[in-house]
């Protein structure tokens, strides 16, 4: 179905762009954690490919795309080298990186959902794997860097929710048999815009109702 929505070359290019931006975020965190060049490369690879690798293993798309397309493996390494030498400059354009990261989030939640559905999963399971595709790499990145994953922290702007919305719109289109290039683009853009608005206005998910915790907030 993915090939019916977009040409293979367009889909491949979009994938590489999303992978590159996710890899940048992983490499920047590695620099902040004072990792060496190997650690920077590992965090870049894991952040960029972790979500898609998890999805492919679950749906049985083996060997995963990350191991059959050299571009998928080389792109995070290029991002790691770029950050290794130019991280002060990359840090200064962090706002721009965040915009592309939001675009990657929107793209991957829709692509992941559609691919899972293509492999025979139900609508709910497909949406869950779409979410995992979009945020899985970031979770692995934070775990390896010994941090609480960003999507679990109340003091971080909404990240998983836009991906959930994008994946949900995708499965609704699949259910109604109206998924095409236009509707899938709408789902991508919706998730993208929600993430941008969350960053702009610092939207956060609510915590427990009538929370009464004596634990100090970090």
Counts for the chain of helices (H) and strands (E), in that order: 9, 0
Which pLDDT score is estimated for 95?
84
Global pTM value: 0.90
What is d(CA 131, CA 106) in angstroms, rounded to the nearest whole number? 10
> Whose CA is closest to 144, among 37, 47, 19?
47
Q: Is 54 a member of any domain?
A: yes
Q: Is 215 a member of any domain?
A: no
What is d(CA 173, CA 169) in angstroms, rounded to the nearest whole number? 6
Q: Are 171 and 192 in contact (CB under 8 A)?
A: no
Q: Is 149 a member of any domain?
A: yes
Number of domains observed in the structure of the chain: 1
Dihedral angle, C-alpha 189, 41, 137, 108, nearest 10 °: 30
Q: Is 208 a member of any domain?
A: no
The set of long-range contacts for 175-179, using a CB threshold of 8 Å and a minimum separation of 24, is 175/123, 179/1, 179/5, 179/114
Q: Is 38 a member of any domain?
A: yes
**Which residues have a Cβ under 8 Å from the Cβ of 121 and sit 6 or more positions away?**
59, 129
Q: Are 80 and 137 in contact (CB under 8 A)?
A: no
Angle between helices 94-118 and 8-32 (to 10 degrees): 130
Q: Is 206 a member of any domain?
A: no
Which range marks the domain in which residue 90 is found? 2-201
b/e map 117-127, b = 16+ CB within 10 Å: beeebebebbb
pLDDT by residue for the chain (218 residues), tens only, comes to 665 666 678 788 888 988 999 999 999 999 999 999 999 999 999 999 999 999 999 999 999 988 999 999 999 999 999 999 998 888 787 888 888 889 999 999 999 999 999 999 999 999 999 999 999 999 999 999 999 998 888 889 999 999 999 999 999 999 999 999 899 999 999 999 999 999 999 999 888 887 765 555 55
Q: Is 153 a member of any domain?
A: yes
Q: Is 218 a member of any domain?
A: no
Residue 149 has a CB neighbour count (10 Å cut-off) of 17
Which pLDDT score is estimated for 47?
96
């Amino acid at each position: 179905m993915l090939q019916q929505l977009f040409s293979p070359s367009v889909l491949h290019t979009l994938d590489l762009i999303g992978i590159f931006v996710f890899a940048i975020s992983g490499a920047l965190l590695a620099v902040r954690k004072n990792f060496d060049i190997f650690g920077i490369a590992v965090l870049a690879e894991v952040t960029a490919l972790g979500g898609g690798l998890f999805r492919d293993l679950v749906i049985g798309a083996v060997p995963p795309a990350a191991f059959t397309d050299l571009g998928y493996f080389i792109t995070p390494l290029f991002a790691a080298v770029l950050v290794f030498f130019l991280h002060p400059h990359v840090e200064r354009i962090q706002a721009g990186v965040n915009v592309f990261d939001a675009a990657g989030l929107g793209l991957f939640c829709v692509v992941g959902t559609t691919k899972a559905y293509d492999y025979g999963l139900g609508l709910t399971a497909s949406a869950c794997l779409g979410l995992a595709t979009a945020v899985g790499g970031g979770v692995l990145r934070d775990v390896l860097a010994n941090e609480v994953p960003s999507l679990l922290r109340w003091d971080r702007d909404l990240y998983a929710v836009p991906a959930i919305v994008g994946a949900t719109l995708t499965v609704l289109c699949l259910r109604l048999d109206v998924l095409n290039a236009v509707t899938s683009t709408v789902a991508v853009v919706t998730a993208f815009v929600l993430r941008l608005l969350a960053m702009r206005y610092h939207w956060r998910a609510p915590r427990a109702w009538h929370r009464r915790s004596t634990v100090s907030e970090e």
